[in-house]
Chain A
């Protein structure tokens, strides 16, 4: 079960240049439980395209993709209800503006469950629950989604997907455009959802600090190729990340700088600021 990519290619066709290969020969497997994956890579490396494959929004140009036992190939199969896949794998888009459309937050969150044949009452309960999960109280239920702040909109749009109760949650750059505190709150939220419900969560991000601190597994895309699949500990211990067009997390860079400047030998692989300061203390004492 879960999601399996087998040599999946996808190219966009254009008028002039023929086509553009967005992802090339991707093979990977994502479990339906207990994963916390971050998907990183340069702009244009195919992250969003890969994410859109995970709930069959786009179909591979070649190769096969198996999502919860349903085979997705380049051709639309009339026997498969692709809509059902989207209930299993929820995808939150980068810009909440693309999905909010109702006059109240409650109705907007109910849109998804109603599409999957839930009754009005069930959908209301789910909406309330989803809104609580993203950390907004019941006062928001009757507010107009267009009058919310950017961060609140984002939370509402995430709640709109959470209300579907998907088994795997995919988020396309949920932290972009948020302040540092908002970013952390959102990542903490995903972490707690993951720990409480055991759902697999896949987050696309550019923020290496968040990757290092939160992820159990990292996928690195470079020009459409999957160049790394493993734990962040292994990734950030690699010598030359610039070949993937990535950077090291702040903690590693700062600690490395301190080591070089003051000729110390502090363990530079610390995930949080708290751990880093503790390591510096230890380093100074010894």
Chain B
């Protein structure tokens, strides 16, 4: 839980922190569009380089972002594998006959057990995983003795490899950009930015203030609710409902014992919050003033210009290359 940094603000001092949230939101959206306009791996690699440059310029530790990406690795690996297996365009690169037989299944099971036993060396988790996948491949390719149940063709096409890298790099860029936005912008600033940007929607009857209020209240209460959930889990664990032990049948009851108090506490908290807001003279729909009003500065102008240039660049690349 503690390593998830997507959507979390970490105080710092780089130039990204000084930018107006509106500039950041629009720039991130525009840059994402620009990334989607790119067509080849080379172009994307350049874009990735630029993204890393932004991180360096903003004094954000790359390792930190990388660590925060951990929960998304599964998604990235899945996308990668999916593309390799199912994209059948371009020249054929690899064509192997894979065997699934009694002996190979046994060795695969053994290999899995060895891998899981080694899994306690957490430092080499990634290397072990790659070794494991490689091992599975070798087993299926070379162990052809004994009873053979079936065989299948392992086909890899040029486009498949290219697309898999392409999609993964694109995802990485997009995640990095949005992480930079939330990492360097206070939730309150972010909602204020969104509110200001959505102002024009008033014409079609959407109140941007209400919307911003909803977002900021939910963001504010995520840690509180998590904290409460943790306490409830401990309280129920003390009555013998340990969420780490127990059978599936017991688990259902345990989840109910967590959810009911959660709902009750959440409702009670929202009532309290409503009272607290009212006692501080909050009137829904009434105009509110701010302590810190957003102001666009020179830095915002420069960032905006750079963003527009990047977008123009990618449009040109799209048309002429």
Contact = CB atoms under 8 A, between A and B. Distances in A.
Q: Do A and B come from one complex?
A: yes
Interface of A: 13-16, 52, 55, 57-58, 76, 81-83, 86-87, 90-93, 95, 97-102, 111-112, 115-116, 146, 160-161, 164
B241 interface: yes
Contacts of A86: 237-240, 242
B250 A97 contact: no
A81 B237 CA distance: 12
19 contacts: A16-B10, A16-B11, A52-B234, A58-B234, A82-B242, A83-B237, A83-B245, A86-B237, A86-B239, A93-B234, A97-B265, A97-B268, A99-B232, A101-B260, A111-B239, A115-B250, A146-B264, A160-B239, A161-B238
B237 A57 contact: yes
Contacts of B8: 15
A150 to B, nearest CB: 13
**7 closest A-B pairs (Cβ-Cβ)?**
A115-B240, A101-B260, A112-B239, A98-B235, A99-B235, A91-B238, A93-B235
Interface in B89-117: none
Contact of A164 (B228, B234, B240, B268): B240
Q: Could you say which interface size class chain B belongs to?
A: 20 to 34
A92 to B, nearest CB: 8
Interface in B271-320: none
B71 interface: no
B239 A15 contact: no
Interface of B: 2, 8, 10-11, 228, 231-232, 234-242, 244-246, 250, 253, 256-257, 260-261, 264-265, 268
Given A52-B234, A91-B238, A115-B250, A81 B257 contact: no
Given A13-B2, A15-B2, A93 B261 contact: no
Contacts of B242: 82-83, 86
Nearest to B229: A98
B265 A115 contact: no
B177 to A, nearest CB: 22
Nearest to A92: B238
Nearest to B239: A112
Given A81-B245, A99-B232, A112 B240 contact: yes
